[in-house]
Amino acid sequence: MSITNIPQATTIDDAPLISRTLARAFDDDPMMRRFFPDDASREAELGRYFATLLTRQYVHHAVCEHTEAAAAFWVPPEAQAKTVPDAETVQELREILGDRAALFRDTIETAARHTPQEPHWYLALIGADPAAQGQGHGAALLRSGLAKADAAGLPAYLESSKPSNLPFYEHFGFTVRERLQLPDGGPELWAMWREPHRPAGA
């Protein structure tokens, strides 16, 4: 594995790198294009969006890791209540989303109604810069988070709005648990689940 592919713990100082990486990773994501429809401003708005989520929410309560060209935010079960945005974060997101803020709220609420109730590790977000895709960055981060879930003996859960990503997750043992139709004619969301894997020889 290339040294650039080795997952590292993310700190608040990494926010500029992480937000740029994720803005590029999610530029063609159907759900993000719905929230940020303007091609000219999307990368900058996505950068602000991801920087806000990281610095105000996930870096404090989740397991955030990155490589030189990808990032992933995992939320263990004991932290899931803490990663719900507080009032200040909600206000900041509203300012970034503008007239799409209500649509964003409805989408998040729809997804939340289908969140599994049993304890699990939640992959809140993973993305790789398209310029580095195929180089193992996303796979390294996925393996790292799944190893932690497996060590805890817990399943993992994620949602994807990009159907082309489903085979990637299936390769790591995820299966589609549910297909959700997002509100107001939005794209579909695939809810995916993976049972814990026992270490070899266990």
Helix (H, G, I), strand (E, B) or coil at 70: strand
Beta strands 188-194 and 175-181 are antiparallel
Write the pLDDT tens digit of every residue in 100-158: 999 999 999 999 899 999 999 999 999 999 999 889 999 999 999 999 999 999 999 99
Give the rounded percent of residues in the chain with a pLDDT score beyond 90: 84
Task: Please give the single-letter amino acid code of residue 144.
Answer: S
Q: What is the pLDDT of residue 137?
A: 96
What fold, for 3-194? Aminopeptidase (3.40.630)
Provide the CB-side half-sphere exposure for 57 (13 A, CA).
24
Q: What is the pLDDT of residue 199?
A: 67
Q: What is the pLDDT of residue 1?
A: 45
Token duo for residue 165: 């990503």
Q: What is the pLDDT of residue 86?
A: 85
Give the rounded percent of residues in the chain with a pLDDT score beyond 70: 97
| Measured distance CA(178)–CA(25) in Å, rounded | 24
**What does pTM read for this prediction?**
0.93
Domain boundaries, the chain: 3-194
Write the pLDDT tens digit of every residue in 47-73: 999 999 999 999 999 999 999 999 999
Write the pLDDT tens digit of every residue in 74-85: 999 999 888 888
Q: What is the pLDDT of residue 124?
A: 95
**Mean pLDDT over all residues of the chain?**
93
Distances (CA, A) of 91 to 52, 57, 95, 139: 11, 13, 6, 34
Beta strands 8-9 and 121-128 are unpaired
DSSP E strand stretches across the chain: 8-9, 63-66, 70-75, 121-128, 156-160, 175-181, 188-194
| Measured distance CA(22)–CA(79) in Å, rounded | 22
Confidence of residue 200 (pLDDT cuts 50, 70, 90): low
